Amino acid sequence: MNVIEIDNINYARSYIEHPLENIQLTVKQGELIHLKGETGAGKSTLIDILLGIKYPDSGTVKIFGSPPSELKSKFLTGVAPQKIGPPIENAQLGRLIDLIESHYQGAEGKINSILEDFGLKFSQNKQRLSGGQERILFFALAQAGSPKLLILDEPTTFLDTEDTENNVSKLTKFWKHLQNFHDEGNTVLLISHDREIGVQPTRTIWLKDGRLNESFDVNNSEESSDKEVDSNLIHSDNEVGALHWLYLLRKHVKFNIQQTFQADRKDIWLTFIASFLWAVCISFTAKIGSSEDSSSVYTIAIFYSSYLAMTAAKSTGNIIAEERQNEILTKFLKVLPLPPIIYLSAKVIAAWLITSLLILTMLFITLFSNVISPSIFISLLGSLILGVIPYLFLGLALGYLFDKPKNIQIAALMSSLILTIPVFSRPILQVIETVFATPGKLNIAALIGDNVAAHSPIYHYIQIILFSGKAPEYDRYLWLHLGWLIWFTLISILIALWAYWRTCKQEAQA
């Protein structure tokens, strides 16, 4: 089995100056390949295909005998991507380091050891790392899982010889670390436009005009070309159980919450302020409308349900949108050994916890306004939190259908309004019936209104709230409403999964 097998890859896009044509490449265990080429030659595109981030138009790619998207390949591959965009804030880098470390056993010690050797002590208190320091950090993160294949895309950018410590340049230390990694029998694919590098490659390959048109052996390449990948490496160290995935789920939930409060701090505060004001207004309306808990619960159910549906959808959608706009974070997450079910579940759970905090705040305001009695507080809280679940998945779909937070907010608002309109159809039609009806005839408007309202998931959300609040407006069809909640949740999940895979496919084929 080979470490890398690229078979007749073709990839052409209108924005690419040199499309990839008939790319063939086989890399054996223990090789150190230097892939060279001018800027725009297609090196980074080839690496994205190799990592499964992009799909070729034709041809196949295998890493350790498996497609690059499989967990087995990801566990054995370490990646230091090319730097994209402006410097990353240290607070975000700190969260990213913690997240990557959680995927591999003993990763923290491995990363710290490499950083200390470069004289780099990471601190979230500093504002930003320099460009060279970021490259060192990415190099260390690539080795977090003790990979058998290391893919480095322009790793020496900003590592100039003037950056020294004890008269030893960072660049010299980098080449020493890379040589040690290779000497342990591991495989390296180094992508660089530099003609000379600080290690002796087994092969140097030129990518020019979209073709691998020149390849030659440099030193002892025949010795490495006969090596086969030890199959024990693929199975022994990378088998993980349910506890590992549960641990990763918890870490990703924490990461998403921290990212939301850091990257989207202004919107979070505005949402909390809006929720506070909304709760005050609705509580006041409910209080002056009736002095009894039942009528107050009905008012709360009507206005809280639609608002929370919109807020829940917006919360999940914003988490997705903010991440998609961060290219370097997105690339790191795509190469981590993480099943999509864990990745997506973490987004939904994070948004659910944030929304639950909003619900708790709003309900406390309602309680302290003497609108509801303490005896129904817990049951109301449970029903409100339970009812937002399908809208969290709806927001997940919006996050992949729209790539900007502002568009997601508009879509969440429109979705909430569309789902809420049927609920108000009955009173509107009743007014029409009252004006135009002939005495003694069947109240057709009320009948139509009831049927229209019953097809809105918001209506069933309201009825569950009324049940928990022991309101007389509750229609006593609890199982029907719970069934609708489950059905709408399943539909929302299917839409979210479709949107996710559609976006993944579009981005991979872009």
Q: Using N-to-C axis directions, what is the helix angle for 107-117 and 131-142, rounded to 10°? A: 140
pLDDT, tens digit (0-9, with 9 covering 90-100), for 449-459: 566 778 889 99
Rounded to the nearest integer, the mean pLDDT of the chain is 84
The whole-number pLDDT of residue 188 equals 95
In a domain, 394, yes or no: yes
Task: Return the exposure string of 401-431: e unless at least 16 CB atoms fall within 10 Å of the residue's CB, then b.
Answer: bbeebeebbebbeebbeebbebbbbbeebee
Question: What total of structural domains would you count in the chain?
Answer: 2
Instruction: Give the residue from 239, 254, 285 where a domain finishes.
Output: 239
- The string of DSSP codes covering 481-493 is HHHHHHHHHHHHH
Same domain, 307 and 199: no
Same domain, 215 and 286: no
The whole-number pLDDT of residue 1 equals 78
The whole-number pLDDT of residue 218 equals 52
In a domain, 42, yes or no: yes
Same domain, 43 and 151: yes
Please state, in angstroms and rounded to a whole number, the distance separating the CA atoms of residues 236 and 238. 6
Q: Is the pLDDT of residue 125 over 90?
A: no
Same domain, 432 and 345: yes
Q: What is the mean predicted confidence (pLDDT) over 377-405?
A: 94
pLDDT, tens digit (0-9, with 9 covering 90-100), for 460-505: 999 999 999 988 888 889 999 999 999 999 999 999 999 999 999 9
CB 463 within 8 Å of CB 305? no
Same domain, 213 and 84: yes
In which domain, by residue range, is 75 found? Answer: 4-239
Same domain, 51 and 197: yes
Count Cα atoms within 13 angstroms, Cβ side, for 214: 10
User: Which CATH number goes with the domain that contains 24?
Assistant: 3.40.50.300
In a domain, 256, yes or no: no
Same domain, 170 and 276: no
Which residues, 6+ apart, have CB-to-CB distance to 254 below 8 Å? none
Q: Is the pLDDT of residue 79 over 80?
A: yes
- For residue 491, the tally of other CB atoms under 10 A from its CB is 14
Q: Is the pLDDT of residue 214 over 70?
A: no
CB 119 within 8 Å of CB 366? no
Q: What is the mean predicted confidence (pLDDT) over 157-176?
A: 70
Q: How confident is the model at residue 32 (pLDDT cuts 50, 70, 90)?
A: very high
Please state, in angstroms and rounded to a whole number, the distance separating the CA atoms of residues 25 and 9. 9
Q: Is the pLDDT of residue 293 over 50?
A: no
Residue of 382, 258, 385, 383 lying closest to 311 (CA atoms): 385
Same domain, 226 and 281: no
In a domain, 354, yes or no: yes
In a domain, 428, yes or no: yes
In a domain, 144, yes or no: yes
pLDDT, tens digit (0-9, with 9 covering 90-100), for 136-146: 889 999 999 99
Q: Is the pLDDT of residue 63 over 60?
A: yes
In a domain, 244, yes or no: no
pLDDT, tens digit (0-9, with 9 covering 90-100), for 338-389: 999 999 999 999 999 999 999 999 999 999 988 888 999 999 999 999 999 9
Q: What is the mean predicted confidence (pLDDT) over 299-317?
A: 92
Higher model confidence: residue 468 or residue 170?
A: 468
The whole-number pLDDT of residue 167 equals 46
Higher model confidence: residue 166 or residue 396?
A: 396
The whole-number pLDDT of residue 296 equals 86
Q: Is the pLDDT of residue 390 over 90?
A: yes
In a domain, 465, yes or no: yes
CB 388 within 8 Å of CB 348? no
Q: Is the pLDDT of residue 236 over 70?
A: no
The whole-number pLDDT of residue 82 equals 81
Which residues, 6+ apart, have CB-to-CB distance to 293 below 8 Å? 372, 373, 376, 469, 470, 471
Instruction: Give the residue from 206, 239, 272 where a domain finishes.
Output: 239
Same domain, 225 and 277: no
The whole-number pLDDT of residue 435 equals 57
pLDDT, tens digit (0-9, with 9 covering 90-100), for 255-287: 999 988 887 778 888 889 999 999 999 888 887
Token pair, residue 313, equals: 């959808």
Same domain, 405 and 275: yes
Higher model confidence: residue 38 or residue 206?
A: 206
Q: Is the pLDDT of residue 90 over 90?
A: no
Same domain, 96 and 137: yes
Phi/psi of residue 199, nearest 5 degrees: -130, 160
Same domain, 278 and 407: yes
